[in-house]
Structure 1
Amino acid sequence: MASIKNELSNKYLQGVYRDLKKRYPEQKEFLEAVMEVFISLQPVVEARPEIQKNAIIERLVEPERTIMFRVPWMDDKGKVHVNRGYRVQFNSAIGPYKGGLRLHPSVNLSILKFLGFEQIFKNSLTTLPIGGGKGGSDFDPKGKSDNEIMRFCQSFMTELYRHIGPDTDVPAGDIGTGGREIGYMYGQYKRLRNEFTGVLTGKAIPAGGSLARTEATGFGLCYFMQEYMKDYKMSFKGKTVVISGSGNVAIYACQKATELGAKVVAVSDSNGYIYDPAGIDYRNLQLIKEQKRDRIKTYLNYDFGKKAQYFEGCKGIWTIKCDIALPCATQNEIDGESAEILVKNGCKAVGEGANMPSTPEAIAVYKANKVLFGPAKAANAGGVATSALEMCQNSARLSWTFEEVDKKLNDIMVTIYHNSANAAKKYGFEGDIQVGANIAGFEKVCDAMLWEGISY
């Protein structure tokens, strides 16, 4: 596998990055995401002078629109709280903005710009006509009643509705924003606009949602990695898998990996992780996390968890011996040290179900040791791809079966892998799927921007 040097040497890109860092010195997450992409794009920029001539990169790293607003809401005791709401509409060159709404105390502009920037390339890779965006609030749904969450969501949408629409911006769920939150937001949007459109995805099935949307990111991750491993005479069959997280992505990655013949032995949440050498059934995770809304440590309280072990803290999950690691929790959860341990314990493949869960140091370790690395913007694109399929169904007033959506999802993930692999090969970096995904996602957006011209 030929790998690109992990350094930025192109003078044009260096200049753009330097100006960006000077303008946004506090936005560390965003700058990290930009650097990762810039390193990959160096051969493209050198081969295509029209990119610099038309300032494509300078235009790409600045959102087309950034919206910030206050979100006042009242708790059950009558106390008024004020949170901050955001929507970053990053790039609409190939379609309406598309990306999730994250509700979490950690939300700030840097994180949303990082996620929105990544979303441009991820959405481009799906082959579907959707641009990149991201939004959310520093509101924390944990510990809140349904009525408190409803009042927050209605207040949030009372401002956001002015800036979104089925042909403008179609938000989706994300961390902290599940079916309940989407329902409250959509109900308020519908009341304010007096129209029933596919403006939010992740809706309930009776309200225009898509079958297989809940499973999509986890299933898609496994479809992508299965196709990737096939090129290297590998598969999930007979392999041991460790998955971080225990939300939708982790639960359904656990299901699909098991169906493909693997044994999942560990999962986690924000407090710690469980290790069950007998294998973890995704239905047990559903019981704990989706039905009981409980912590992962309660796995030990059930008959199926009698032989399992629970460990406080999350980092230790990567010390468990496995053939395949699927980080599905949060950004930067695998650092260089954890990557070294994974390699030492025989890990042969890492597929990212979360957004940028591996640090640059971890990625360097994977590549140096020929670990198959499925980067987030390619490997976890199944969620947004199926959201776009929900948009298609809404626009046509159709409802596809689970099997139809699942087949389309599988086809999309297989295509994403091959497009990424082909782009890497085209520029002399055969086998480097991280570089290939960045290039394949970028070139489609770049060509659309060139075709549309420059707006003065």
Structure 2
Amino acid sequence: MNSSIDEITLLHQAQARATAHHMVVRGIGEEIDLEIGPGDDDPTFSSTTLVVVPTHESVTPDDQDDHKQILLASQVPTDDQSQLVKAPQGKRKKKVVKKWREEWADTYKWAYVDMHEGTARIFCSVCREYGRKHRRNPYGNEGSRNMQMSALEEHNNSLLHKEALRLQTASKDKVLPVVDRPVYVKVLRRDPHEVEFMQSVQEVVHSLEPVLLKNSHYVHILERLLEPERAVFFRVPWVDDRGEPHVNRGFRVQFSQVLGPCRGGLRFHPSMNLSIAKFLGFEQTLKNALSPYKFGGAGGGSDFDPKGKSETEIMRFCQSFMDELYKYLGPDQDLPAEDMGVGPREMGYLFGQYRRLTGHFQGSFTGPKIFWSGSSLRTEATGYGLVFFARLILAEMNKELKGLRCAVSGSGKIAMHVLEKLHSCGAIPITISADSKGYLLDEDGFDYMKITLIRDIKLQQKSLREYLKPNPRAKYFEDAKPWCERCDIAFPCASQNEIDQADAIALVNSGCRVLVEGSNMPCTPQAIDILRKAKVLVAPAKAASAGGVAVGELELSHECNLMQGSSEGFDAKLQVFEAKLQETMKQMYERSVKAASEYNYLKDNPEALVHGGNICAFLNIAHAMIDQGCV
């Protein structure tokens, strides 16, 4: 420990002796110097003897160079520094010089050098931060022989810097009000480790730029909105069938109740964390605000994985989960719904424990089991709504779904009902995913018989390869995604960020012209850039996947009786349900188009629906927040 402190002290002394630190920026292809202390312009550097500090831990010869700390020989070793040895002349460590890379050219225009706590650092002039803020090692030399370049590169790859740089670049054409700039960086700096939430916020903030420029008062509204009203994080202990105890984490983020009681899904998946809970709650808040109904937004769940668990294990977990969560639920407070990993079985166990703890049979949980709560057509709502929204988009293009090839990802409730409704509309659904392990391709399309077969296979928890036995013309692709298949419309219905840059390129090359988001935030920022440049029209999940919001309103009204009861007259009930669902999707589409046009996003803009949906949802929330005061 003392030895490490001595080495750090020597580093600081070397940096303190440096009278000036300069960064020489030359033309593309030339060399630049980012080292601390004298550089190539110093004629004495070439004759300076380098001294190395040997490490005390065992390292391999290949790694040894990377673990050395380089000091100038002008620091004459004292008795306390007797362990310093001169490096052999044959292996003298030359000054590390990096090539000027073309893709970094714009970045360095915003860099400057300043002293921080006695150390020369390269700062970003946009967000006034240096690379050390984004590294675990405070000295920036993890896996790099040039700590300043490495730290700056990592900083420039951060979401914080990219957003700040984009705003700085945009300011060349138009001057942003002074009050606008802090809110962007402040939001991104608040929770830098919450990647999913930050990505969601960035997409929305980008859409809201013209709104904030037109009325700077909305900046303060946005800042309040981006902080959840309530976030609950709790322990969920449970016991398996062998009597062994386990513990998982539970989350519930009630993002906003300004428009009404919260409504949002519960997700049971190993990847679940607070960032995803906040992201889901934020997206649900905007989705509900865009709808014609009065709901707030929430999201949550647990990192518990129902797969491979017995019925009794799932029941014990759900009961333990509800033991804590019930305090924050109620018909006028929060209405949980299904999400990934939470189906009718899990919702039944959750509601049973909730009823036991509260002593009330409040139909405040949503699900298809009509004997305790919900609509018998809830599972169809989101999937059918996606197809109805796609038809609205195609109608604007003077096209129809009939005969179009459609690629669908996911194999859950939403994806299966998308297949079902696409087939009934005359489209040709050709793909379906297999729980991130691969996808199934049927060039002839999935009809009702084939969809029923897939449901049976999933119910028996078998591989989708079983589908190939009665359908030899079909193909199963292991560890792959369906986006390389020739298609006209894509329906990503699996999870967030399922489409990356390579997938987006594959989609464009496959002929896809419309992407309808079934899952929240299915595209990475890099994928969105590719789709925008290729003019692929994107239908946002906030509008396209709001079918569940529509049926949720029916559940809380007298019209829910239309969806419940015996199976007699089911066709008539289905027609009423679909008519109301289509009307809701039409309103969502028209609201998005109107808001986009009001802020100069033209119809030929492939992201017009994305921006319009974000703007309309935000303004609905903002007006309510203004009316209710700063609470």
Q: TM bucket by the smaller chain?
A: over 0.9
User: Are 1:296 and 2:473 counterparts?
Assistant: no
Q: SS of the counterpart of 1:417?
A: helix
Q: Deviations over 1:255-282 (max 9, x none)?
A: 1111111111111122110111111233
Partner of 1:50: 217
Matching residue's letter, 1:343: V
Q: Which aligned pairs between 1:24-423 and structure 2 lie closer than 5 A? A: 24-52=191-219, 55-269=220-434, 270-281=436-447, 282-289=451-458, 291-301=459-469, 303=470, 305-315=471-481, 317-393=482-558, 399=563, 401-423=573-595
Which amino acid in the other structure matches residue 590 of structure 2? H
Distance 1:332 1:407 in 2: 32
Matched, 1:453 2:629: yes
- The 3 A distance-change label for structure 1 pair 397 and 188 is farther
| SS of alignment partner, residue 200 of structure 1 | coil
Per the TM alignment, residue 137 of structure 1 is displaced from its structure 2 partner at its CA by 0.4
Structure 2 contact 483–510 (Cα < 8 Å) conserved: no
Query: SS of the residue aligned with 1:214?
Result: helix
CA–CA separation in structure 1 for the residues paired with 2:179 and 2:578: 42
CA contact (8 A) 2:377 2:563 kept: no
Which whole-Å deviations, capped at 9, do the CAs of 1:133-158 have from their partners, x for residues lacking one? Answer: 10100000000001000000011011
Q: Distance in 2 between matches of 1:260 and 1:336?
A: 31
Q: Give the Å deviation of 1:88.
A: 0.2
Q: Distance in 1 between matches of 2:286 and 2:588?
A: 11
Q: 2:619 aligns with which of 428, 431, 443?
A: 443
Following the alignment from structure 1 to structure 2, what is the Cα–Cα distance between the partners of residues 123 and 314?
A: 34
How much does 1:392 deviate? 2.6
SS at match of 2:298: strand
Mapped partners of 2:223, 2:594: distance in 1: 26
In 2, Cα distance between equivalents of 1:274 and 1:398: 37
Query: What percentage of aligned pairs have identical amino acids?
Result: 47
CA distance in 2, matches of 1:279, 1:236: 14
User: Separation in 2 of the partners of 1:47 and 1:215?
Assistant: 40
Report if aligned partners of 1:201, 1:391 keep a CA contact under 8 Å in 2. Answer: no
Aligned equivalent of 1:3 = none
SS of match in other structure, 1:206: coil
* SS of match in other structure, 2:374: coil
Report the CA distance between 1:127 and its aligned residue.
1.2
**Contact 2:236–2:317 under 8 Å retained in 1:** yes
1:225 aligned counterpart, secondary structure: helix
What residue number does 2:147 align with? none
- The amino acid of 1:179's aligned partner reads P
Contact 1:172 1:387 (C-alpha < 8 Å) held by counterparts? no
Q: How many residues align?
A: 443
131-140 vs 398-407, greater mean Cα deviation: 398-407
In 1, the alpha carbon distance for the partners of 2:462 and 2:550 equals 29
In the alignment, residue 503 of structure 2 is paired with which amino acid? S
- 1:26-79 CA distance string (max 9 Å, x none): 101100000000000011111123323xx2011100000001111111101111
TM-score of the pair, normalised by structure 2: 0.68
Equivalents in 2 of 1:90, 1:247: separation in Å?
A: 26
After superposition, the Cα gap between the structure-2 partners of 1:119 and 1:224, relative to the gap in structure 1 and judged at 3 Å, is same
Distance 2:350 2:196 in 1: 28
SS of residue paired to 2:331? coil
> Shift in Å at residue 345 of structure 1?
2.0
- CA deviations 1:410-440 (Å, max 9, x no partner) are 1111111111011101100022111011011
Structure 2: which 5+ residue stretches go unaligned? Answer: 1-164, 171-175, 565-572
Distance in 1, Cα, partners of 2:551 & 2:166: 35
Could you tell which deviates more after superposition, 406-415 or 17-26?
17-26
Structure ID, larger Rg: 2
Q: How far apart are the structure 1 equivalents of 2:630 and 2:243?
A: 50
- Tell me how far 1:285 sits from its aligned partner: 2.4
Deviation string 1:288-312 (CA, Å, 9 cap, x unpaired) is: 22x32333232223x1x22111111
> Higher mean Cα deviation, 346-355 or 177-186?
346-355
Q: Distance in 2 between matches of 1:179 and 1:246?
A: 16
Query: Could you tell me how far 1:398 is from its partner in structure 2?
Result: 6.8
Tell me how far apart the structure 2 counterparts of residues 141 and 7 of structure 1 sit (CA, whole Å): 42
Asked if structure 1 preserves the Cα contact closer than 8 Å seen for 2:497 and 2:521, the reply is yes
The alpha-carbon distance between structure 1 residues 277 and 429, as it changes in their structure 2 partners (threshold 3 A), is same
Query: Would you say the 8 A contact 1:211–1:402 is kept in 2?
Result: no
CA drift of 1:393 comes to 4.6
Distance 1:235 1:397 in 2: 33
**Residue pair 2:179, 2:216 contacting (<8 A) in 1 also:** no
Q: Aligned to 2:446, what secondary structure does the other structure show?
A: coil
RMSD, aligned α-carbons: 1.7
One-letter code aligned to 1:448:
A
Write the letter of the residue equivalent to 1:437. Answer: G
Query: Partners in 1 of 2:575 and 2:490 — Cα distance?
Result: 27
Task: Answer yes or no: is the 8 Å Cα contact 1:107–1:136 preserved in 2.
Answer: yes
Q: Deviations over 1:305-331 (max 9, x none)?
A: 22111111133x111000111111111
The aligned counterpart of 2:114 is none
- Amino acid across the alignment from 1:310: Y
Cα contact 1:182–1:203 (8 A) shared by 2: no
Normalising by structure 1, we get a TM-score of 0.93
Q: Shift of the alpha carbon at 1:17? A: 3.0
Aligned partners of 1:234, 1:360: CA distance in 2, in Å? 29
Structure 1: how far apart are the matches of 2:318 and 2:282?
A: 25
